[in-house]
Structure 1
Amino acid sequence: MALNLDDINQTTIYIPYEGPESDDDESGPEPYAPYAERDLPEGPEIRLRAYRAAWSRCLNRVQSIVHQLYDPVADEIVTQIEDAYEGVLPGLPYPEMPVFAISAPSSGSTFVNEIAQRMERPVFEDEYEMEADEGPGAYITHLRPSDCTSVMNAMKALVSGFVVQSPDGQDVKRKPTTSLANYDIQLLGVWYDAIRDSLDDDVETLPPLLVFMHEFEQFDDVVMQDVIYICSAHITRLPLIFILSLSSPPSPSFIHTTYPRSTLALLQVHEFTLPSGEEILEKIVMETFFSLEFEPPIMIGPWVIDFLIDFFSRHTYSVDGVLTILQLAYLKHFDEPLTIFAAEHDWPLDILEHPSAFPFLDRLLASTLDAQSSRSAKGWPITDIPALLEFKNQAEADLQAHLRDARLAFRLMRCVQEFLVRQGYRKAEMEKDPFEMMCAALRGGLAREGKYLGLLVKKLSVEKLKGLLSDIRVLVTDLPPQTSEYGAPIVSFLDEALELFDVHDGAEIAEGISGWLVRYFADGHFVNLEELKLWEIWYTGSTPFPSEMINPSPRATVLSGLLYPYEYVESSTEDTGDNSTSKRRALWGLPDITILLRRYLDAGRMINIFDWYESFAVVLENQREHIMNPPTPKPKSGRGKTKGKKAVEAKKPQEDEDEDREEEWKMYVQARFMRALHELDFLGFIKHTGRKPDHVMRTVFDIPE
């Protein structure tokens, strides 16, 4: 269809972007490579595979911990769902519909989906393969706030979610002229009667109908009151069970504070709360990175732990947020080219002999040089690549040895502290919380806290000392082989301490146990891992966490991109300080939307569209003159006559354009103005008002520098 600019029926004209005139540079932006100058030829691909392997191990560990925390609650919910219609209280004026409210602020929909998978009806190739004790399972449908904007839509989503599931595995075919409406609950009753007739006579329980409602706080309470009333009137025929996913805290109860008594009287509410708060975060970090049985491939540093607790306590208690932060920390860690040595699988070492690998080897040798106090008298010991790899293996063994020793000492300190707190010693809580103690352990600064706890042990009685030794014995029992050598001194101390109870009184025993604990915690078990050789390969250390990826600033980013577009687009490796290209560039050299936004910032609360257009046209006229008559460089000669002569030639007036060409230029300016104006309107910078049709209102006033 041809573009007709003179058609008055066209309210909008779309001018497609055809790209630059020259297609010489079509490479696009360069890939993200912060250390490209010292990276190996195949380094990014190898490190990406190493990252995936390392993160897979860490993710599986965290998920197993979360499952251990949630499994008891999930088992209880599944059991009560199966017995929801068993043992109903007699004498009720009307039957109550079972409702299970699950308050899961830290898991989102993950836990509810797991419940759905457990209750899902098993699929068999032959229906006769189903065992009688397993039952026929359950039929499940999921409802979300967008599906329940009205009572009709809510009932349609509920009924349709069930009737599309065929009891015999065949496709359901209904004639619209002879069928009930898809929002009529009687249709669901007829469908369930077919389910009941298809079951064997020896099946004792009928399959329940589970309705999972995600983000229940977002549902319209008026609509849900009508849905509950309709469903509760048919539960004698339809075993409906509502399972509500709540993100609000359990107290005060959202259901009891939102819905009236007349609605609550129709429900049999069962409330469940999942473990949440800082306790679950402490459990995840402790059992993943300070566990005696599991060794993470990459150890997180204090910066990651600090950001983790700050984000978890300030923004959200979601476990998914914890996983995202840990994943970003791992991904950021593998930016470093040296982390290629963290790959579990072998990679071609011959790439180290390539000339392009020399900057990488220089960086690696520099790290080994920092680790050595001085060169030996025989010269530098690392003379070839095999010696360098052997040095790397030794550095990894040393780092892992210090980590195992520090983990055991930290768990022992936490064991003593928790025992003292249980015995009522409030001073044992200390000023540092568990996360601050983790950071201090990685920095090698927990000796003072260990001494303090050791001195508190002096105050324990004989019976309490036996309880403390029993807890320590449980800690060091069945240690993995790689950690058992570090637990040998503790086991030896426990054996000696048990002999003290037969020959010494309580004060001497407490003195001996306290003195041993003070000496143990001061014996260099906590060291600063950043002082070890090649620590940056397996330890994130004090590398700042990329918080802008987790908590971005979209408003500031959009404004900076519009005001300084060339600075925003240019490579981040270049210098973009106060003397950047965008801030030096003249206004006529900026994009249309930037020109319009600059004029936007100079206006008041309301902007006259025509004045805005006139100011925009002035800038485009200036742009036109500069393009048609580019400035000529000044001559280097200092002769005044030549300089004046060329200046006069540069200022020769151009020939006047004819009237048709001028009108074409005005239409061109109007089209560019409308396109930039619509872009600002789409971004929300202007608001239309009915009082003054030729004016618009500003919506953005505070512009960050």
Structure 2
Amino acid sequence: MAALIKDKLDSISEGCFLIMPNKKRRNTSQQQLRKKQRSKTKTTVDVTQRCEENSQGISNIGFQKLFNGNESFDSMLYRKSSFEQCWKNINDDISNILLDMNETAVENICQFVYKSRNIEEGMVALPYHEIPTGLVFAGINTPDHNTQFSHIASKLREDSKAGKQKNFVSLLQSKDCGNIKNMFKAMIERFLENTPNALSTDLDHDIIMDDNEENDDDAEDEEDIIRTTERAATSYRLGGASARPSKCLPYDMKLLEGWYRHHQQSYENKPNLVIILQDFESFEPAILQDFFTICSEYRSRLPIVCIMGIATSTEILHQSLNKSTIGLLRIEKFRLEQSGVWFNRVIEKVLLDSTSTLKFGARPYKFLLDHFYLYDFSMTKVTASLKYALMHHFYGNPLSIFLPLLQMDEFDMTATLQQWVRNDFINEHHITHIRMLGSFKNYVESLADTDPKKALQLLEDDDFLITEVVPSLLCDIKIYQEQFKMGFNLLLLLQKQFPSFSSVNKSKLMLLLEVLEAKDGLSENTDMVRRLVSFVRKIDTEHVGRLLKELRHLFSEYENVNGSFLKQLAVWDKRYEGLMEADDNYNTRMDRKSKLLEGMVLENEQRRHTETAKKVQDQALEHLKQKGTEASKIAMDIADWCDKTLGHLLRSFTKLPLFELVYYTNIKLHEKSFASQPRASAQTALTQPQHYINCSCCDIEKSDQIVTSEHDTCILYKLYLECGRLINLYDWFVAFGCIIEREKRPANQKLEENEVQARFIRSVAELQFLGFIKPTQRKTDHVIRLTWSNI
């Protein structure tokens, strides 16, 4: 019997044959079947044609007519164009700041690429080929590296067009390099994109098509790519030989070598092949080791240069690569500027220097600072936050049409507004909204006592309001912005005069926040101004001359704003020159007298807070002004002048009429969009589920009311809120079962204990997944208790 079975098996094995597919055939029957199956799985979507009214909002990037559709179409288009122009200006400033900030570092990287070959020729020949590698420290926020390394790649390509040595650049990211095959494939594709007449005509198209197919068809993909390469490779000569077909796969380095040999003939100097690994920490170490090993083998034939972006430190290099792989790299370090430098310059450019864009109030500005310094140091989020503020202002505020008027002078503003009134560009709804502004109401109330006729005219005469008052008020806002910038720089100048007083000195951004948060602006009652002024009173003769020189340099830039400042400085300069020309013995004698008075008057100035002490202090200051030296008198005058000037220049913008047209003070939408609170949303959903599931049977009056028709997780969560910090698991289960028993069920369906237990366990797991509870082992009562999570 065993022999019989053995004979049958032998006969079967003799009848088995392996039939190889014919390579010359385009498609086998199995391949055709796969393509039919894939074509059947493709879903077709019927796109309905929209009418012109429905597509109007989409065609205008979401801009719609406000005032319930009563806004004119031209006004809506003007808001759209104003938003695009304003954002273009801000975005250009942001990009230029980033380029200027890293200009030196990027130039050094380009010089490293150009000199890599010269350095290699002057070195001793090694048995292995080193790859010139630049380590670029780009900061801890990796999402921002995309912009920074795109600028580096663009700079390398621009230098090639400018007549310098040609560079072929391939920018790689870890998401495109899941394995070594995909990494070389992506690298070669990026290099082929550098030349319009390269193989990419037919090859890239088929490569992209192959990426969408299934991964289990590797044999079919390779066969199709080989045939595609055979067609495309006939367009160039490989190494001077006659045109011949190539069967290289798209991830084969021989394909890159042949392409490079063909295109290097067009240049006097051999172009460099620059490979940029944008996020080095995210690559798989094994893939990087194989990649550098293979590139090192081709280094003698291909001038490969590698640039790697690192977010942390060089330790990650030793953690990812072994010693043999690191030995293949000739490393040089570069460092880009940190994002904090970029943030400082952007805030200064957008919120201080510019007078024709949207300004931030105290709360939005504080939100911007907190989320940058306390969360992620992200340049991308700062840019998105600025754009979101502009979108909120122009999309939803019909009065945003007045913001671009700040770029004009008062005469052009008046002419533009008159034209708007004639063309019905502005209607009665715009005028009503202007009169409803809080700052305009305060302005009218202030005129009620001094000029009641003008106040009444503002409320009744529309043309007078739009064509005469609005241009004047907008020009006042422009003047205020210039004065605010001048006062802020004066505050910085005074702070730099006293570097030893570290408790006073603050960064520029924090100083701006303090100024914006002051409700009545900076005045003599402000602690910071009071301390700075007291320090100015104590400066000696040498520091008086230095301070006058810096003040003269500062206000020479703002002569058009207020020329009286320079006149006052000229008076002090003459007094100081007379002081320097006086007799030395007289100066010495008066200095001793001045120091004695200062010790009596200014020693404990900060410790006196009673009314009597302040009165005595003021009298002592007046005595010092009369009996002190000329230097101390000048210092006293400068201190009093700084006190009054800072109070005037740094007054609060909320005192300006129509400041709502220029200043962005809404913070609620920013908090919802950029500081989401998923835990609070989950709590609201669990206590008020009717707002989320739109269920009429679950409508409740109070959030703590429990209805049997609610979701099991909601019931369990409300039961937990009735308990303390610790709850017995069994008691929780019993309370849950008592509520479930009151459900309305058919007579033939009874509630079983296993069903209650299963629903209870599932709801507990959901609460634990949301992070509201966590199990804690406690020996008391031999039960597991659940405690509130501190997440």
Q: TM-score, length-normalised on structure 1?
A: 0.68
What is the CA deviation profile of residues 583-611 of structure 1, one whole-angstrom value per residue up to 9, with x for unaligned ones?
Answer: 779443x6xxx45664698799999xxx9
Closer/same/farther in 2, CA of residues 169 and 471 from structure 1, 3 Å limit: farther
- Map of 1:58-77 to 2, 5 A cutoff? 58-77=90-109
Distance 1:57 1:370 in 2: 37
Deviation at 1:549, TM superposition (A): 0.8
What is the identity, as a one-letter code, of the residue corresponding to 1:303? R
Task: Please tell me whether Structure 1 or Structure 2 has the larger radius of gyration of its CA atoms.
Answer: 2
Q: Is the 8 A contact 1:454 1:517 kept in 2?
A: yes
In the alignment, what sits opposite 1:504?
Answer: 579
2:177 aligned residue (133, 148, 167):
148
Counterpart of 2:147? 110
Residue 560 of structure 1, CA deviation: 3.6
3-state DSSP of counterpart to 2:251 = coil
Deviations 1:251-276 (A, max 9, x none): x6533554444333221222222222
Structure 1 residues 261, 402: CA separation in 2 closer, same or farther (over 3 Å shift)?
A: same
Q: Which residue of 1 aligns with 2:133?
A: 99
Q: 1:285 aligns with which of 331, 341, 347?
A: 347
Q: Which residue of 2 aligns with 1:491?
A: 566
Instruction: Select 1:538's aligned residue among 658, 662, 666.
Output: 662
1:321 aligns with 2:381: yes
Q: Quick one: distance in 2 between partners of 1:273 and 1:514? A: 48
Q: What secondary structure sits across from 1:86 in the alignment?
A: helix
> CA separation in 1, counterparts of 2:342 and 2:633?
36
Letter in 1 for 2:567: S
Q: Is the 8 A contact 1:97 1:240 kept in 2?
A: yes
CA shift for structure 1 position 92: 5.8
- Could you tell me which runs of 5 or more consecutive residues in structure 2 were left unpaired when the two chains were aligned: 1-53, 55-61, 204-224, 231-245, 406-415, 581-586, 592-629, 721-726, 772-785
Matched, 1:401 2:479: yes
Change (3 A) 1:377 1:553: closer
Q: d(CA) in 2 for partners of 1:287 and 1:262?
A: 48
Q: Distance in 2 between matches of 1:569 and 1:68?
A: 52
1:199 paired with 2:253, answer no
Amino acid at match of 1:159: I
Answer yes or no: is the 8 Å Cα contact 1:40–1:356 preserved in 2.
no
Over 3 Å counting, the alpha-carbon distance change for 1:160 and 1:342 in structure 2 is closer
Structure 2 length-normalised TM: 0.62
**Contact 2:689–2:714 (CA<8 Å) still a contact in 1?**
no
Query: Partner of 1:108: helix, strand, or coil?
Result: helix
- The aligned counterpart of 1:233 is 297
Match of 1:159 among 182, 188, 212: 188
For 2:320 and 2:633, the matched residues in 1 are separated by: 60
| Mapped pair 1:557 → 2:635 | no
Where in structure 2 are the equivalents of 1:200-599 lying within 5 Å? 200=267, 203=268, 205-248=269-312, 250=313, 254-256=316-318, 258-276=320-338, 278-291=340-353, 294-334=354-394, 335-336=396-397, 338-344=399-405, 348-349=420-421, 350=424, 354=428, 361-363=435-437, 366=441, 368-372=443-447, 374=449, 376=451, 378=453, 380-382=456-458, 383-389=460-466, 390-418=468-496, 420=497, 425-427=499-501, 430=504, 432-442=506-516, 443=518, 444-445=521-522, 447=524, 448=526, 449-450=528-529, 452-457=531-536, 468-477=547-556, 479=557, 483-486=558-561, 488-500=563-575, 502-505=577-580, 508-509=630-631, 512=634, 515-523=637-645, 524-541=648-665, 546-558=670-682, 560-561=684-685, 564-568=688-692, 586-588=707-709, 594=711, 598=715
**In the aligned structure 1, how far is the partner of 2:492 from the partner of 2:501?**
14
Query: Aligned-pair distance for 1:81?
Result: 1.9
Q: Deviations over 1:324-352 (max 9, x none)?
A: 22223334445455445335486954476
Q: String of CA shifts for 1:21-77, please: whole Å, max 9, x gaps.
A: xxxxx9xxxxx99x9889964587765554444443333333333332222222222
Amino acid at match of 2:678: P
Deviation (angstroms), 1:194? 2.0
Change (3 A) 1:391 1:232: same
Q: What residue number does 1:8 align with?
A: none
Aligned to 2:594: none
Q: Against the structure 1 CA distance between its residues 353 and 154, is the aligned structure 2 distance closer, same or farther, given a 3 Å change threshold?
A: closer
Q: Give the Cα–Cα distance (whole angstroms) in 2 for the partners of residues 456 and 91 of structure 1.
A: 65
Paired with 1:138 and 1:82, the residues of 2 have a C-alpha distance of 9
**d(CA) in 2 for partners of 1:261, 1:151:** 20
Which range moved further: 69-78 or 336-345?
336-345
Question: C-alpha displacement at 1:315, in angstroms?
Answer: 1.0
Indicate the SS of the match to 1:236. coil
Question: What does residue 90 of structure 1 align with?
Answer: 123
Matched AA of 1:380? L
Retained in 2: the 8 A contact 1:40–1:360?
no
Distance in 1 between the 2:158 and 2:343 partners?
Answer: 34
In 2 relative to 1, CA 501–402 (structure 1 residues): closer, same or farther, beyond 3 Å?
A: same
Give me the whole-angstrom Cα distance separating, in 2, the residues matched to 1:147 and 1:371. Answer: 65
Return the alpha-carbon distance in structure 1 between the equivalents of residues 486 and 742 of structure 2.
Answer: 70
Deviation, structure 1 residue 522: 2.3
Superposition deviation, residue 487 in structure 1: 5.0
Give me the whole-angstrom Cα distance separating, in 2, the residues matched to 1:339 and 1:439. 25
SS of the residue 1:181 aligns to: coil
- Is the alpha carbon distance of 1:122 and 1:306 closer, same or farther for their aligned partners in structure 2, counting shifts above 3 Å? closer
Mark the runs of 5 or more structure 1 residues left unpaired by the alignment.
1-25, 27-31, 124-129, 571-577, 626-655, 657-661, 687-699
Q: Distance in 2 between matches of 1:372 and 1:569?
A: 53
On the 8 A contact 1:289/1:299 being kept in 2, the answer is yes
Q: Which residue of the other structure, out of 188, 203, 209, is the alignment partner of 2:256?
A: 188
Distance 1:184 1:510 in 2: 81
Distance 1:164 1:585, change over 3 A: same
SS at match of 1:193: helix
8 Å contact from structure 1 (residues 417, 428) kept in 2: no
| Offset of residue 430 of structure 1 | 0.9
SS of residue in 1 equivalent to 2:472: helix
Q: CA RMSD in A?
A: 4.8
Q: How far off is 1:115 after superposition?
A: 1.2
Structure 1: which amino acid aligns with 2:402?
Answer: F
Evaluate the alpha carbon distance shift between residue 59 and residue 153 of structure 1 in structure 2; reply closer, same or farther with a 3 A threshold: closer
Alpha-carbon separation, structure 2, partners of 1:521 and 1:54: 36
Greater share of residues in helix: 2
* Structure-1 separation of matches of 2:693 and 2:549: 63
Q: Give 1:232's aligned amino acid.
A: S
Corresponding residue SS for 2:136: strand
The residue identity in structure 1 corresponding to 2:257 is: G
**Structure 2: distance between partners of 1:52 and 1:548:** 24
Secondary structure of 2:475's aligned partner: helix
Provide the rounded CA distance (Å) in 1 between the counterparts of 2:339 and 2:159: 35
Secondary structure, aligned partner of 2:672? helix
Question: What is the alpha-carbon distance in structure 1 between the residues aligned to residue 490 and residue 349 of structure 2?
Answer: 14
- Residues 166, 618 of structure 1: CA spacing in aligned structure 2 closer, same or farther, 3 A cutoff? farther
